[in-house]
A and B are shown apart, each in its own frame.
Chain A
């Protein structure tokens, strides 16, 4: 009987606490400006990319043949490959930061940039002279490219993580992975302003590895960094 009474009174006080909470939250209500999700993501990612571009320019230098490079197809294919991956991942992020919104089969779109670069790489390897194959794969900078891409992706990674933290991701490992892939994709695009490699097999493997490494870092950090 006493137990019943005490549980009664405790649920009464906590009910009052919750009523007070509702009062406070209602008093704090301000109209919400639309569309805060897209704007916040764009801000975080945009600032990150600008900083990344600045670092690439200052520390590594933009490629000296930029003007003629932009006339070649592979320059744009390279950009499309990595920013395509980044765009699909960003699309997933935009959904993952809203509770209750399913991602569906959206990640299948990642196959598109991968298949494009993969197909081109296979063609170059088949049609290129046999003694050049190793160079098509290793280029001049295979050992450095993934690490530099990881470094170039750090500013967008921080910017996006800041944006996502302020929204409401409910699947932290998944959201972290997508934040990492998006930052990796756009970071690699930034690094491409320096890198003169132009063989599809090289780009497929070493750029891909750099972007995947960013996704892995994101997955590791997600549960800790994106928590709210």
Chain B
């Protein structure tokens, strides 16, 4: 699969991979487990993530997937996609399409993702541009809640315990699921584009501020005890906003979130497409059809409350092996092998 990315396209893709599905809900886990200092924990976690990006940037050339590692990653992304689709389906059923059988709504979503997957790479690469205005509208309407914020909710600072800090930081990483896509996409960035240093810092600051602001905003809006009862705090904030022309503003925002999430799902599928295209001489299309069949059927088994809660609680544990440990192993292995080759030559 041949495609080239500009710096802006590359960062835009990463932005939509990291945001999207989780944006309406990840705050609950961070605040619930982290306590009053959750926003600081998120800040610290994001510093760690910057270091991880720094490591990725330095070593992305050595991140080459072999036959086994490729399938391990495809499986991981499939698990993430299925989890996200289950959560999307659950949210849609709870908020807006109570009467539609999940099979049909999921079928519609998967058919759209299949259409994108069968389109040329530039379609997936550029699709985010169309979502940008919607994200802005989303943010503007969240800002309507500013007058209801209680800034004293985060005080006193420094009350969280060490276990709370560990858990809060652990759940903060939910905001960075998919960060390993950096390694998949980086090789396709135009050679003369500057990524190192300032650009990467600005990108990470944008993501961190965007996600961090939602954490602190939720803390300002809800009392600490309330947050346990509210699984999708951002949607609840939107639901409580009143404007004269529309009664249920939240309905529009769920659809904006749906479009945004569809893009996230497609970017994960794009990672799979890139991985599949490394098989020389093989047409990846049949495999893409199989993969779409899987993501069509599998989420149907995980759309109950219990399963969705399980996903929300445990999906983040996959972050460590697939975003940190495995990339490090692959990079170190390839670095060593390359240096051995150089010496033998």
Q: Do A and B share a complex? A: no
